[in-house]
Structure 1
Amino acid sequence: MADSESPEIQAGGGPDADAGEHDHDTTGSSSRKLAAVAAINLVGFVVELAGGLAFGSVALVSDAVHMLFDALAYVMAFAAAAVAERVDAGDEWTYGLHRIEPLAAFLNGLFLLPMVGYILWESYRRFLDPVAIGTGPTLAIAVGGLVVNVGSVLVLEGKEMSLNERGALYHLLGDAGGSVVVIVSVLAVEFTGVRAVDPGAALVVGGLVAWSAVRVLRESGAVFFLKTPVDTDGLRDALLAVEGVSGVTDLHAWQVCSQLTVATVHVEASVETLAAAEDVNARVHAVLADHGVDHATVECCSTYENRTHVAAHGH
């Protein structure tokens, strides 16, 4: 039977579906933001660590360690974004190196976990043996740390943020919360004289760090382990509502990175010409794009023949 009578096409769609056209301006902007935040936080770490050691505040030291790990996380995220920006999709790297982004974010989350253990241990030691702290200088440094965190948030803030930028934002929110806790604890020690408030504040900082770690691990893990980022039931219904589509099978969607969503789908169409099948294919791609899919492969087969789709991959 001629092609005009037996349409079956498989395509990746138009320009909108090309993974090789990932926005380099967006990635470059992400790299610059992360580099700036890393530099700011490294300076903040040095100041807070020196102040915490000099004036005996375990809460301030904990916040400094938090800031150090965050700075290292930003450096790693910056490196991942820079590498992804410089390697285009091609025959050797199908989607470029954008998978580095979720990997870096996942490692960032893992790096937070030992910090929680350190903070808990130091807090325990200080509960057993509280020490006097220099409240005035400690308060000034903690306020400075809060300013650093707020400034970093302003640098990162934007409508569309990459996974690493969101991870950095969670780190910064935890840092800001930690600085607030330190400020409150210093004031409490100053006005009540209860030294145990300082290690208690460090425990709160540890909780904030743990929250940051879980949040980053959950989001990056969802990308890294290919959790679907779209409502597949809603997408399937939308595809079935396309004129000419009579069946939808093998619908799969996943993310290469936070800014590149990929999907494949087999569509059965009630058409009898190649032109009609191409029209259905174009409308299917439009629906996929409306649901946030950046790159799609659509197999469109006519249903007027007795066709059996045999999946060549495991489920």
Structure 2
Amino acid sequence: MIVEVVGGLLSGSLALLADAGHMVSDAAALAFSWIAIHYGKRPATLQLTYGYKRLEVLAAFVNGCALFVIAGWILIEAIRRFAAPVPVVGKTMLIVAFAGLLANIAAFLVLHGGNRENLNMRGAWLHVMGDMLGSAAAIVAAGVILLTGWTPIDPLLSIFVAVIILKSAWGIVKSSAHILLEGSPEFLNPTEIKADLEASVAQVQEVHHIHAWSITGERHMITLHAVPAPGISAREAMIAVQQRLATRFGVEHATIQIEEGACAGAHGGDTRCGDASSSGEPSRR
């Protein structure tokens, strides 16, 4: 990062300065990601009953937002360079960009084997990949400038890198915001869960009040109400539903409320169940 800042100022290259600016955020983003993973290993407490795992999602969200800011700065600076071209020293730019590429490749290889389902790890990986693309773009721009002297290639390729960064940032922000808003995971559609349980679990005749959400990108939760089939005990129905959720949907933590007769969430004598959230320990009515 320091070498690219110095090299960018000496050569006048926006591509190098843009990549250095991205690396500034990377240093902060990777530190934030590491802290989130470190604290995420702490056990749950009475105040934080799900533990600190959600910190990883928050880190991914912040990292994604940081990528938007960086890409925006690159685009604004590139437009300024088109309006007022700046001389670029191609040889200095090429040497510094090549050194940056080697460093970014090393970081990329370290993170490449990480869990891509983990939004925090994915955000860190995308930061480094963006850096690697920035260094590669700077090398191409330096080569064009040395061969042809056409300096507009520098801001032009910077815009290309910014667009790639924006695309990656949108995916991270969208996924992490969905988790923070307690949205249902894509593969845990409540309608599909209801249809599957009622068709596949003989111990229940009806399920409703289904809510699905995620603590992290890998840890998913479900709560629902279930009505046992005739002659089936509450315990049998609960175990059967939990087993089906684990084997079919991969959800190991599910809160099942067992009912007999009217729905526990019904009001005013209405036996139908709406969308109100309800969870708790298994009980019988």
Shorter-chain TM range is 0.7 to 0.9
Is the 1:178–1:208 contact (alpha carbons within 8 Å) kept by the matching residues of 2? Answer: no
Q: How far 1:307 moved relative to its partner?
A: 3.0
Task: Tell me how far apart the structure 1 counterparts of residues 60 and 152 of structure 2 sit (CA, whole Å).
Answer: 35
Runs of 4+ in 1 over 4 A off after TM superposition: none
RMSD (Å), alpha carbons? 2.1
Q: How many residues are aligned here?
A: 265
Paired residue for 2:206, among 244, 247, 250?
247
In structure 2, the partner of 1:131 is: 86
| 1:44-55 alignment runs, 5 A limit | 45-55=1-11
In structure 1, the partner of 2:144 is: 188
Is the 1:178–1:204 contact (alpha carbons within 8 Å) kept by the matching residues of 2? Answer: no
In structure 2, the partner of 1:98 is: 53
In structure 2, the partner of 1:308 is: 263
Q: How far 1:58 moved relative to its partner?
A: 0.7
Q: Aligned residues: percent identity?
A: 34
| 1:193-232 alignment runs, 5 A limit | 193-229=149-185, 230-232=187-189
| 1:81-92 alignment runs, 5 A limit | 81-86=37-42, 88-92=43-47
The structure, 1 or 2, with the larger RCO (C-alpha pairs under 8 Å, 6+ apart) is: 1
Task: Tell me how far apart the structure 1 counterparts of residues 245 and 266 of structure 2 sit (CA, whole Å).
Answer: 21
Paired residue for 2:221, among 254, 262, 265?
262
Task: Tell me how far apart the structure 1 counterparts of residues 71 and 31 of structure 2 sit (CA, whole Å).
Answer: 20
Is the 2:203–2:240 contact (alpha carbons within 8 Å) kept by the matching residues of 1? Answer: no
Paired residue for 1:62, among 18, 21, 25?
18
Q: How far 1:294 moved relative to its partner?
A: 3.3
Task: Tell me how far apart the structure 2 counterparts of residues 159 and 197 of structure 1 sit (CA, whole Å).
Answer: 34
In structure 2, the partner of 1:167 is: 123
The reply on whether 1:296 has 2:254 as its aligned counterpart is: yes
Is the 2:265–2:276 contact (alpha carbons within 8 Å) kept by the matching residues of 1? Answer: no
Q: TM-score, normalising length from structure 2?
A: 0.85
Q: How far 1:128 moved relative to its partner?
A: 2.6
Is the 1:62–1:205 contact (alpha carbons within 8 Å) kept by the matching residues of 2? Answer: no
Q: Which runs of 5+ in 1 are unaligned?
A: 1-44
Q: Which runs of 5+ in 2 are unaligned?
A: 268-274, 278-285
Q: How far 1:236 moved relative to its partner?
A: 2.3
The reply on whether 1:284 has 2:241 as its aligned counterpart is: yes
| 1:136-147 alignment runs, 5 A limit | 136-147=91-102
